[in-house]
Chain A
Amino acid sequence: MNNKIIVLIILLTLVVVGSVFALTGEEIVRKADDMQIFDTSEATGEMRIKDRFGIKVSTFNSWSRGADESLIEFTSRAERGQKVLRTEDELYLYFPDAEEIIRMQGAMLRQSMLGSDVSYEDMTGGKDRVSQYDVELLGEETVSGHECYVLMMVANVRTVPYPKEKVWIDKETFLGWKAEYYTKSGRLLKEIEILKAKEFDGRLIATETRISDKMKTDTETIMILEDLKIDIPLEDDLFSLEELSW
Chain B
Amino acid sequence: MKMHLAKTALKNISRHKVRSILSGTAIGISAMAIVALFSLIQGMSDDMAYNLKTYYTGEVRVKHVDYEINERYNPMHLTVDWESVNDALEQDESVDTYVPRITFPSIFYGSNYGAVGVGADFAREAEFQDLEGSLKAGRLPENGKNEMMMGATLARDLKLKLGDKVTVMSTTAARGTNAITLEIVGLFAFPVGSLNSKYFWVPLDRTQYFLRMEGSVQEVLIKLKEGVASKAAAPLIKEAVEARAGVEMDIRSWEELSTTYGMLKMAQMVYNFVAMFFFLLGSTVIINTTMMVIFERMREIGTLGALGMHGKELIRLFFLEGTFISMIGSAFGVAIGVALTLWLSKTGIDYTDAMSGMDFEMSSIVYPQLSVGRTAFVYFYSVIIASAATFIPSRHAAKIEPVEALRYV
A residues engaging B (CB < 8 A)? 49, 51-53, 56, 58, 77-79, 82, 93, 95, 97-100, 102, 106-108, 111, 113-115
Contacts and interface: CB of A to CB of B under 8 A. Distances in A.
Nearest to B168: A98
A100 B107 CA distance: 14
A82 B109 contact: no
Given A99-B167, A115-B171, A79 B181 contact: no
B169 A102 contact: yes
Interface of B: 70, 73, 75, 77, 107, 109, 112, 146, 165, 167, 169, 171-172, 174-181, 210, 212
Q: Which of B107, B171, B178 has the most chain A CB atoms inside 10 A of its CB?
A: B178
Contact of B181 (A78, A98, A106): A98
B207 to A, nearest CB: 12
A98 B179 contact: yes
A25 B178 CA distance: 42
Nearest to B174: A78
Contacts of B181: 97-100
B171 A95 contact: no
Contacts of A108: 107, 112
B176 A98 contact: no
Nearest to A49: B175
Contacts of A97: 146, 178-181, 210
Contacts of B73: 52-53
A58 B107 CA distance: 23
State the 3 A-B residue pairs at the shortest beta-carbon distance, nearest first: A78-B174, A95-B179, A99-B181
B212 to A, nearest CB: 5
A228 B28 CA distance: 88
Nearest to B183: A99
A114 B176 contact: yes
B146 A111 contact: no
Instruction: Summarize B's interface: helix, strand, loop or mixed.
Output: mixed
Contacts of B107: 108
A75 to B, nearest CB: 13
A116 B252 CA distance: 34
Nearest to A112: B177
Nearest to B165: A99
A82 B180 CA distance: 12
A244 to B, nearest CB: 13
Contact of B176 (A79, A100, A102): A79
B64 to A, nearest CB: 12
A107 B111 CA distance: 12
Contacts of A100: 109, 167, 181
B228 to A, nearest CB: 36
B77 A53 contact: yes
B105 to A, nearest CB: 13
20 contacts: A49-B175, A53-B73, A53-B175, A56-B175, A77-B174, A78-B172, A95-B180, A97-B146, A98-B179, A98-B180, A98-B181, A100-B181, A102-B109, A102-B169, A108-B107, A111-B177, A113-B177, A114-B176, A115-B175, A115-B176
A77 B167 CA distance: 21
Contacts of A82: 176-178
A91 to B, nearest CB: 13
Contact of A56 (B146, B174, B179): B174
Contacts of B176: 56, 58, 78-79, 82, 114-115
Given A53-B75, A97-B180, A97-B181, 15 more contacts: A49-B175, A52-B73, A53-B70, A53-B73, A53-B77, A93-B177, A93-B179, A95-B180, A97-B179, A98-B109, A98-B179, A98-B181, A102-B179, A108-B112, A114-B175
Nearest to A100: B167
Contacts of B180: 95, 97-98
Contacts of A79: 174, 176, 178
Contacts of B75: 53
A53 B176 CA distance: 13
Nearest to B73: A52
Contacts of B178: 79, 82, 95, 97
Q: Which of B107, B171, B177 has the most chain A CB atoms inside 10 A of its CB?
A: B177
A102 B181 CA distance: 11
Contacts of B210: 97
A97 to B, nearest CB: 4
A154 B109 CA distance: 33
A60 to B, nearest CB: 12
